[in-house]
Amino acid sequence: MLEVENVHAYYRGNEALKGVSLEVGPGEIIALIGANGAGKTTLLNCISGLHTDMVGRISFGGADISGAPAHKLVKHGLVQCPENRQLFGSMTVQENLEMGAYLWSEQNRGESLSKRLEHMLRKFPVLKSRRRQLAGTLSGGEQQMVAIARGLMSDPKLLMLDEPSLGLAPIIVEEVFGIIKEMRNEGRTILLVEQNAIAALDLSDRAYLLETGSVTFSGPSKVFMKDARVRRAYLGKDLEAPNSSC
Amino acid sequence: MDHLAQFIVAGLTTGSIYALIALGFCVIHNATGIVNFAQGDFISLGGLVIFTLLMGLKVPLIIAFPISVIAVTIVGALLERVAIRPARSRSIVILVFITIGASIFMRGVFKILWGKNQMGLPPFSGETPINFAGATLMPQNLWIFGITLISVIGLHFFFSRTRLGKAMRATACNPRAASLMGVNVNSMVLLSFALSGALGAIAGIIIVPITTLSFDIGVMLGLKGFAAAVLGGYGNSLGAVLGGLLLGVLESVGAGVISSTYKDVIAFGILLLVLFIKPSGLLGRGDTERL
């Protein structure tokens, strides 16, 4: 479905991605894990067209989308929930969701926008009582729900979630992962970027480990859990050389 | 204070114009963060075009009005396309300077095309005064109130109810996220300049019958509209309308009580006062967004 081949990305001349290849098949949940600054968000931004200083080939559903501007990709069914949620803070929750269906309502696949909204509010009951509230005034967890719901409004073929658990209280994080699990059970294809590696590996089919701009390990998530390198770096289970300063 | 009602009517009239101009500033500011100093020249152009259509080509008002608005709308869009977009990656200050340059350029072109003479236009519908609550209203005052009201309501409807209007607000709020929703941010910026052009043109067209027209009539009006936008809270549409009306009334009453010589001093004095005491304006918020 999504194929990323040998992508190099640059930030002011610095190479942030050094030839990354990655593949997402239909119905798969793929986790992309790695430390801060490894290039996870850059990779997502390359795919979604937000980051244009790149070379390499990205194709989605058989079409070459490398270098296509972000606003053209939603039409293909490729939607990114950006890091830190990036809601439209001065607009209401409902308006945020409507923006998620911006192109969907243009194409209007036989279903009206209000029906789509109702459907989404049933899926996220927390948001129902908040629909007239400004999105910027919601709590972090509620904002994350809005961000995910907004991403789902256009019924994307592939949803890319960038750090959905970032800055949330543990109990809310659980809720967010519950929603991702639900989406998995519905058969939605997801590319999940997470720092919370255990949770991400737990619900994904396959995973990629990104380290300083390169994929250093990839495979089924179960194998990942057992890999010493991953455990040492991201699962905090390094017994050989405990880092006392942390 | 016998004439207080009269001063208020006069103030609300110019205040309506300031409100329209302030809204033009807001629309562009919200989409781009730029203060568009060519806003005043949209006003001049609206007045100049309708003058030529009405007096030169004898086109009836009902046709001349929309043509003039469309003409300035196109000029607004052209300004974005030719001068702003190629430099969009630059800092805001550079873009603001580009609008200042564009303003000087446009004024030069207007001077060549229409000359330096003062021109005048008759009111839209007669000059029979109407007495209302102790004040004398001219029919043109009613035109100004009515057209401003329609424009404000129309603009509100556009931004709160239409898909395109919401996309413009989303772009203003977070352009990156808007592009992830499939919104073409460049088109929204183009649209904001076109819309501001239209608002400026309307302001210019309706004020010309109660003042004299010249190639640079919009310069002072543009600055007053800017002051009104700051007074209301820069970027806030409701604030722009309130700021415009308030500035118009204060200016008019102040001029009536003290002396009309000090009219501009009052307007810009208020601007300075606002900047000293509450820089975010009457309705301006600090950053209330929760992260």
Q: What is the CATH number of the domain that holds A167?
A: 3.40.50.300
B255, A104 in Cβ contact below 8 A? no
CB contact under 8 A, B182 and A88: no
- Residue B96 scores a pLDDT above 70: yes
A46, A70 in Cβ contact below 8 A? no
Q: Does residue A42 fall inside a structural domain?
A: yes
User: Six-digit token pair at A108?
Assistant: 């209007």
Angstroms from A229 CA to nearest CA on chain B = 34
* A147 and A89 belong to one structural domain: yes
- Residue B174 scores a pLDDT above 50: yes
Domain count, chain A: 2
Burial annotation A125-147 (CB, 10 A radius, 16+ → b, else e): ebbeebeeebbbbbebbbbbbbb
Q: Does residue B185 fall inside a structural domain?
A: yes
* A189 and A205 belong to one structural domain: yes
Angstroms from B69 CA to nearest CA on chain A = 28
Domain count, chain B: 1
User: Six-digit token pair at B25?
Assistant: 């500033």
A136 to chain B: which residues are within 8 Å by CB?
288-290
Range of the domain at B201: 4-113+138-277
Q: What is the pLDDT of residue B288?
A: 42
Residue B187 pLDDT level (bands cut at 50, 70, 90): very high
Chain B contact for A114 (CB, 8 A cutoff): no
- Domain end among A139, A155, A171: A155
For tokens 């894990």, what's the residue?
A33
Nearest to A92 by CA among A40, A128, A141: A128
* A91 and A105 belong to one structural domain: yes
Q: Which residues contact A152 (CB under 8 A, 6 or more apart)?
A: A79, A100, A120, A123, A159, A183
Range of the domain at A144: 85-155
3-state secondary structure labels for all residues of chain B = CCCHHHHHHHHHHHHHHHHHHHHHHHHHHHHHCCCCCCHHHHHHHHHHHHHHHHHHCCCCHHHHHHHHHHHHHHHHHHHHHHHHHHHCCCCHHHHHHHHHHHHHHHHHHHHHHHCCCCECCCCCCCCCCEEECCEEECHHHHHHHHHHHHHHHHHHHHHHHCHHHHHHHHHHHCHHHHHHCCCCHHHHHHHHHHHHHHHHHHHHHHHHHHCCECCCHHHHHHHHHHHHHHHHCCCCHHHHHHHHHHHHHHHHHHHHHCCHHHHHHHHHHHHHHHHHHCCCCCCCCCCCCCC
- Residue B291 scores a pLDDT above 50: no
What would the pLDDT profile of B209-226 be if each residue is shown by its tens digit? Answer: 999 899 999 999 999 999
Residue B286 pLDDT level (bands cut at 50, 70, 90): low
Residue B109 pLDDT level (bands cut at 50, 70, 90): very high
Residue A197 pLDDT level (bands cut at 50, 70, 90): confident
What would the pLDDT profile of A38-83 be if each residue is shown by its tens digit? Answer: 899 999 999 999 998 999 999 999 899 988 999 999 988 999 999 8
Average pLDDT over residues B28-34: 87
Give which of A45, A53, A71 to mutate to test B binding, by max B Cβ within 10 Å.
A71
Average pLDDT over residues B184-196: 95
Q: Does residue B118 fall inside a structural domain?
A: no
Q: Does residue A246 fall inside a structural domain?
A: no
* A126 and A142 belong to one structural domain: yes
Q: Does residue A104 fall inside a structural domain?
A: yes
User: Six-digit token pair at B219?
Assistant: 């310069």
Give the least confident one: A148-157, A158-167, A236-245, B177-186: A236-245
Chain A contact for B58 (CB, 8 A cutoff): no
- Residue B50 scores a pLDDT above 90: yes
Give which of B168, B180, B290 to mutate to test A binding, by max A Cβ within 10 Å.
B180
- Residue A242 scores a pLDDT above 70: no
- Residue A10 scores a pLDDT above 60: yes
- Residue A231 scores a pLDDT above 80: no
CB contact under 8 A, A99 and B180: no
* A1 and A26 belong to one structural domain: yes
Instruction: Pick from A217-221, A238-242, B177-181, B233-237 the range whose average pLDDT is largest.
Output: B177-181
Residue B260 pLDDT level (bands cut at 50, 70, 90): confident
Average pLDDT over residues A114-123: 90
Q: Which chain B residue shows the shortest CA-CA distance from A143?
A: B291
Residue B1 pLDDT level (bands cut at 50, 70, 90): low
Chain mean position to CA B120: 20
Q: Does residue A57 fall inside a structural domain?
A: yes
A92, A133 in Cβ contact below 8 A? yes
Q: Does residue A245 fall inside a structural domain?
A: no
Q: Percent of chain A at pLDDT above 90?
A: 56
- Residue B193 scores a pLDDT above 60: yes
CB contact under 8 A, B163 and A79: no
Angstroms from B234 CA to nearest CA on chain A = 15
Q: Does residue B260 fall inside a structural domain?
A: yes
* A101 and A140 belong to one structural domain: yes
B19, B199 in Cβ contact below 8 A? no
* A161 and A233 belong to one structural domain: yes
For tokens 């963060």, what's the residue?
B33
Q: What is the pLDDT of residue A37?
A: 84
Q: What is the pLDDT of residue B290?
A: 37
Name which residue leads in pLDDT, A243 or B259. Answer: B259
Q: Does residue B128 fall inside a structural domain?
A: no
CATH number reported for the structural domain that contains residue B78 in this entry: 1.10.3470
How far is the C-alpha of A229 from the C-alpha of A222, rounded, in Å? 14
* A174 and A73 belong to one structural domain: yes
* A162 and A148 belong to one structural domain: no
Q: Which residues contact A131 (CB under 8 A, 6 or more apart)?
A: A92, A93, A94, A121
Q: What is the pLDDT of residue B5?
A: 87
Q: What is the pLDDT of residue A71?
A: 92
Chain B contact for A50 (CB, 8 A cutoff): yes
Name which residue leads in pLDDT, B133 or A32. Answer: A32
Q: Does residue A244 fall inside a structural domain?
A: no
Residue B183 pLDDT level (bands cut at 50, 70, 90): very high
Chain A contact for B156 (CB, 8 A cutoff): no
- Residue A117 scores a pLDDT above 70: yes
- Domain end among A121, A138, A155: A155
* A150 and A163 belong to one structural domain: no
Which run of H or E residues covers position A219?
Answer: strand A214-220
Q: What is the pLDDT of residue B2?
A: 65
- Domain end among A155, A188, A210: A155
Question: What's phi and psi for A81, nearest 5 deg?
Answer: -95, 105
Q: Which chain B residue shows the shortest CA-CA distance from A150?
A: B181
